[in-house]
Amino acid sequence: MKRLLLVILLAVIALPAFAVSPSEILGDPVLEARAREISGELRCLVCQNQSIDMSDADLAHDLRVLVRERLTAGDSNQQVLDYIVARYGEFVLLTPVFALHTVMLWIAAPAFLLIGIGLAILGNRRNRGRLATGELSAEEAAALERLTAGTDAPQ
């Protein structure tokens, strides 16, 4: 049973290796390595959470072929990325660029985290201060009186 689970796990881990078909692979290992590097930075527009290197969607295949064509034509890595971004927009990049129009993407998550931590600390201090005095508010005292009225001991 353990061997079967191990085989299934290894098969699932190896799935991205089958996304690039042998017909796409370039003969020059240096160009192929550059193509793989660029493909790892580009988002599959169908899957949206995978790079085109890991996706087996038709559009990802077309983008991988386009990357390899541009590299074969002599473009640098940045020129290839610029060409694809010009064609498909910045959404095609897995890591968004840090620019004025994307500042909220970069700042929102840490800001919300800090706000949440601050609110948790503030709430903890407020509750700790109230619990430390041991005093009940008027409403709590009245509710306690109602609950205990008429019963001296549990039966």
Q: What does each of the 155 residues of the chain score in pLDDT, given as a tens digit?
A: 777 776 676 665 555 454 555 556 656 677 778 888 888 888 887 777 777 877 777 887 888 888 888 888 888 888 888 888 888 877 788 777 777 777 787 788 889 999 999 999 888 877 776 655 667 778 888 888 888 886 554 54
Query: Do 75 and 127 sit in the same domain of this protein?
Result: no
Residue after which a domain boundary falls, among 50, 68, 95: 95
* DSSP three-state, residue 42: strand
Residue after which a domain boundary falls, among 73, 95, 117: 95
pLDDT of residue 114: 93
Helical (H) or strand (E) element with 37: helix 29-41
- Domain coverage including residue 42: 2-95
- Do the beta carbons of residue 60 and residue 97 sit within 8 Å? no
Dump the DSSP string for 65-84.
HHHHHHHHTT--HHHHHHHH
